[in-house]
Amino acid sequence: MALLASSALTWPAQAAAVPSPPALAATPPMGFNNWNAFGCDVNETLIKETADVFVSSGLKDAGYQYVNIDDCWSLRERGPDGRLVPDPAKFPNGIKGVADYVHGKGLKLGIYGDAGTKTCAGYPGSLGHEEIDAQTWADWGVDYLKYDNCNNQSDGSQADYIRRYTAMRQALDKTGRPFVYSICEWGTSQPWTWAKGVGHLWRTTGDISDNWASLRSIIRQNAPLAAYAGPGHWNDPDMLEIGNGGMTDTEYRTHMSMWAMMAAPLIIGTDLRKATPQTLAILGNRDLIAIDQDRLGVQGAVVSDGNGLMVLDKPLANGDRAIALYNSTDSLATISVATADTGLRRAGAYRLTDVWTGRASQVRSTISAGVPAHGTVVYRVRPLRDPATVAPAVAVGAELGTVVPGPTGGGTPTSPARDGTPATTPDGSDPTGGGTLTTTVTNRGVGAIREVSVSAGVPDGWTATATTERRRARLATDATLETTWRIGVPADTPAGRYPIDVTAAYEWGPRHRPATTSSQVVAVVVTAPQDGRRHLSTIEPVTSVNATGPVEADQSNGGALENDGNLITIGGKVYPRGLGTTTGSELRYYLGGRCSGLVTDVGIDDEAAGGPVTFTVYADDTAAATSGPVAAGEAPKTLTADLTGAAWLRLVVESATAGVHADWAAPVLACGGVPDDSPILPESRTIFSFESGTEDFTIANPNDGGTVAQSPLFHTEGANGLKVSTPVAGNWFGRRLAAPLDLTGKTMLKFDLKAGEVGTVGEIAVQVGESSSWCQGGLWTWTNPGSSKTITERFEQISCPVGVTLDPSDIRAVWVFLNTGGEVLIDNIRAE
């Protein structure tokens, strides 16, 4: 969960923690936690039924043993004896009754606590109550503690984190009951440098989310920490999202693969009662689990990492090595690593077993595979004496530029460039239709393969024509057959992603055994934007290149990670829409001759120094607008570019200074001949702008405190926003509406926020229907001190009580949650 507090508190010195028994968490813990799938909707039935599924599905036999309860399990007040009290409506038999049930299944029970005055959801925390809470959990038969970090009253120092988490370690030890102790402070104080001997595992990152950007970011943060992990002390990149629906099966297999390679705890976070066979197959992969649970207890080390491709090498107790080839890019990629660059001992050949397919192959000196976009291939590798008995490893790769529907598939050509010549594209696509595919077939095995041929399987109605050699009689070790193909695409093909299967057929060994190897490349078909004026940040670019980290939509480029920027701010003006880039960036959009113009502000973000910087808008290869040199601290400049007839739009930022944070602020693209005064899509409906005052904002929980006042210090619409003085534990700020609000057609709620000196969590709730039922989001988005961002909750992410449906046409009240005891500035609460 997200960080919720940090005000100062003086602590006495604590004695060093007694090291935990090495047998406890000797391998990374495996189990379940309800938070990712259920949030606060936890109860006795869920926990018991999950334990049942552990047994019936075979997950228990695969090694999963902890069934863990997260936040919201207790009453909001302690009992008269000072102890935590389980919510009797959720746990009618108490936590001990649930523990007895779980233990009866041969499993173990986990509980949640917090090293602060309140938990992340506002229930009693354990700060100052460590001994009584630890003894209470022990008396109930709890086996595992996840200990969070919200409302922590901290001065932010590492010493304070050590004191708070060591206090609970000592309290657990005092009970005499073995507890696996999970430190959940989100990597804030670099616990990998101090928590060995205090906890058995420690979070290394912020909370995971069920999307690819989050998974990719967490892998990048956790992978370099291999030196700090080992038996009884594990890096924890957070719980598994596998099965929750926000990613593809390929991405979920990467999730499982990389957690196993990083010797990470495997804590399931989906509703196992509804898990699909595909989800259970991923979670129950015994070969991957064996890698994760290997008794040597070594986290895989990064062998290479560049251009979005990573190789990990993990030694195993029996002398094998696990080698992972991880592709974080958006395209199929061939990833290779020399055996000499891994920990494998020298040999004439090596046997590879693919842990996902079970397929065995052999290589001489290079491990290589065509890895799909967002995919990971994991091999278990050992030296091989007789390679003649094992099929050679053959790597099939492919590269495909942008694909444009056109006449090669029966359509009409796209518009030419302004000088009358055919428009060209830097990525190799043909703007008159179709695209160019390049395939490679490489033999990595000992001994030649023969009668090699390659084919490309395209969607119905498409064509694939080889324009160079696609057959070879013999392919020696490390030799490659490269083939170029012309891909034809029908003119009426919708924009989207289309698979093309590339298959190599060949014979191997003295008996000429037939074999095939396949890879799948995804053809990205682009079409021109629809009619209307649109925020460019809502249109996906065809290609995006940035010097530092990703190009960020609707925020500045904060650094190397996704979503690490602030609201775009140029010369003191704050923009909720735009593109955060750095110098050395280029974005390309396909227009197909249908768009008329782009209007945008540009400038160096106020968080940055350096420059000067030049912004240029290109219509095909013609500069349609340029800013000239722009210095740091200057007011934003407005560029207006004529794009009439252009097939492609390019946005380029250049400077002699590398990595300067440069913003395209509020860029709007007009297509289809729309009037200049037509609404900008997606249309936004302001609910509260605070231009007339506080708009009668109040607090939902009067006893928890908090005040509001109009303020000009932060505004993203108009000239004013709202200054909120928050209580440490937080409160909901908003009001009931004079009449029901009809938000039919809208899909989300947003507000803009700038945190004060101590940061804050931001969340959104609404009340709906005649009964004003409370429906609340569950993302609890954290904003760092002094930082700003847009808080967003989609209606589908907002949970209502059982039997209540969120009806966007009948909104009776809107509330936002803020906390930590500091001042927070907000503005423009809106629906989109």
What's the farthest any 2 CA atoms get from each other in the chain?
86
User: What is the CA angle 114-119-122, rounded to 5?
Assistant: 165
| Catalytic option among 71, 133, 148, 752 | 148
| Catalytic option among 71, 143, 160, 207 | 207
Tokens 């055919």: give the residue: 422
Q: Which amino acid is at 733?
A: F
Rg of the chain taking only CA atoms, in angstroms: 29
Q: Is 143 a catalytic residue?
A: no
User: What is the CA angle 801-806-807, rounded to 5?
Assistant: 145
Closest Cα to residue 461, out of 411, 521, 415? Answer: 411
What CA–CA distances, in Å, run from 232 to 27, 170, 259, 462?
7, 17, 17, 55
Convert 604-625 to b/e letters by CB count within 10 Å (16 or more is b).
bbbbbebbbbbbbbbbbeeebb
What CA–CA distances, in Å, run from 98 to 48, 138, 141?
7, 13, 9
Tokens 């030296």: give the residue: 383
d(CA 484, CA 545): 25
Residue 754 pairs in a beta bridge with 788, 825
Q: Is 207 a catalytic residue?
A: yes
Q: What are phi and psi of 160, to 5 degrees?
A: -65, -40
Q: Is the peptide bond before 178 cis (omega within 30 degrees of 0)?
A: no
Q: What are phi and psi of 664, to 5 degrees?
A: -100, 105
Alpha carbon of residue 265 to chain centroid: 18
- Helix or strand or coil: residue 578? strand
Tokens standing for residue 211: 């999307």
Closest Cα to residue 254, out of 310, 194, 187, 204? Answer: 310
d(CA 26, CA 23): 5
Residues 6 or more apart whose CB falls under 8 angstroms from that of 616 comprise: 623, 625, 626, 627, 651, 652, 653, 654
Please count the residues of the chain. 832
Closest Cα to residue 146, out of 31, 61, 63? Answer: 31
Q: Which amino acid is at 608?
A: A
Q: Which amino acid is at 178?
A: P
Tokens standing for residue 661: 């944070």
- Helix or strand or coil: residue 639? strand
Tokens standing for residue 329: 């890019």
Alpha carbon of residue 825 to chain centroid: 27
Tokens standing for residue 270: 């989906």
Looking at residue 14, what DSSP letter applies?
-
Known catalytic residues are 148, 207
